[in-house]
Amino acid sequence: KQFLNILLAIQIIQIFSTILSTNTIMSEYENIINHVGRYNWLISSIATILIFMIASKLKNFNLKNLFYISIFFLSCMVIWFSLKNIVDFYSSETRASLYNLDVFRDSAFFLNHQMPRVTGLSRSIIFLYVVTFFLSQNTQWKTRIYLYITLIILGSLIFLYQSKYALISYFIINIIFYFNFLDKKKGRKIIILLFISQIVLFFSLSSSRIIIDNFKSLELQSQNQELNEKKNKEDIRHFRKFENLHKKGIGLAEHIILSGRAELWLKAFDFIKHRPFLGYGSMSDRHLLNKERINNNFLVNPVSNAFIYSFLSGGVFCLFLFLLFWWNLKKRILTLIDIKYISNNYE
């Protein structure tokens, strides 16, 4: 109840801040249709919170069912968009990593909306990876084989997408898994075999572009074959690019580690200091921080920090409630990463 009430209060604050933002600099960035569209996430969030509130009051209703439903839809999303990314990865004849695919390619849109970026998909995959690993340690052997195969596929996608924070999370959770195994030898064996299988599958997917290109070259006309053969001589890049010709020293280090987020965070505080109590409403970071990118039809970058976003969109009151939410959640997080606790309470 406490968690849900805090989250509901955050959404209500953002509704008022979005309404009042029409009298701020936001009016220069949006028309009426764009303004109405900013309520989409708030309505979705409130609807989800109300579903949990109503479900908690129903007799003989197990709240775990909502969790299973969420896992199902999250899995469908990951499968569908991962398949689209992999198909584009092969059909584009790119020599770069999948991470560096053009986000504005025609096939990167679904129902007239941009597909989730690989960084967002990677976070979803990490979540599914944790859940699947927990389940694999509390099931019969036959079921466990299928779950291990799922872990191999999910892990290979993490390496294929190459989101820095997903990769860091991957290694951290594996360390946590290892130290929570009662039988360390067994745990070490499972984690190492999974890691090797995931790496092998990743390199197989990345390298198989050569085979696909060879099949395509047979169907090309002679004048195009020369171009294709020249392209085949280019080295395949299995890993994403980190270099930036416009940055050096500390700027380059920040680009490699934070991918330019520090600049966005500093820019966000320039707006926050002018409206610290009410903020600019839902999704305001997409407009305030990306004026030049929107004008040039470039990819829009969100602020990429939940705490700064809550401050920018809902003001200091929204930030306080968000911090309160995480403060109350900290013990639950520490419990959730304990496999022994899950093992003892799974049944």
C-alpha angle 232/164/234, rounded to 5°?
A: 10
pLDDT at 347 over 50: no
Q: Which of 314, 298, 295 is nearest to 260 (CA)?
A: 298
**Long-range contacts at 230-233 (CB < 8 A, ≥ 24 apart):** 231/93, 231/95
Q: Mean pLDDT over residues 39-43, rounded?
A: 90
How large is the C-alpha radius of gyration of the chain? 23
Query: Which of these ranges, 24-33, 69-78, 85-94, 180-189, has the smallest mean pLDDT?
Result: 85-94
Q: Mean pLDDT over residues 36-52, rounded?
A: 91
pLDDT at 146 over 90: yes
Q: Which of 281, 285, 284 is nearest to 301 (CA)?
A: 285
pLDDT at 90 over 90: no
Q: pLDDT-based confidence at 286, cuts 50/70/90?
A: confident
- Torsion of Cα atoms, 293 then 40 then 100 then 157, to 10°: 160
The residue type found at 135 is L
Q: What is the mean pLDDT of the chain?
A: 82
Q: pLDDT-based confidence at 317, cuts 50/70/90?
A: very high
Q: What distance in Å separates the CA atoms of residue 338 and residue 340, rounded to the nearest whole number? A: 5
Q: pLDDT-based confidence at 217, cuts 50/70/90?
A: low
pLDDT at 35 over 70: yes
Q: What is the pTM of this model?
A: 0.79
The better pLDDT of the pair 295, 44 is held by 44
Q: Would you state the pLDDT for residue 337?
A: 53
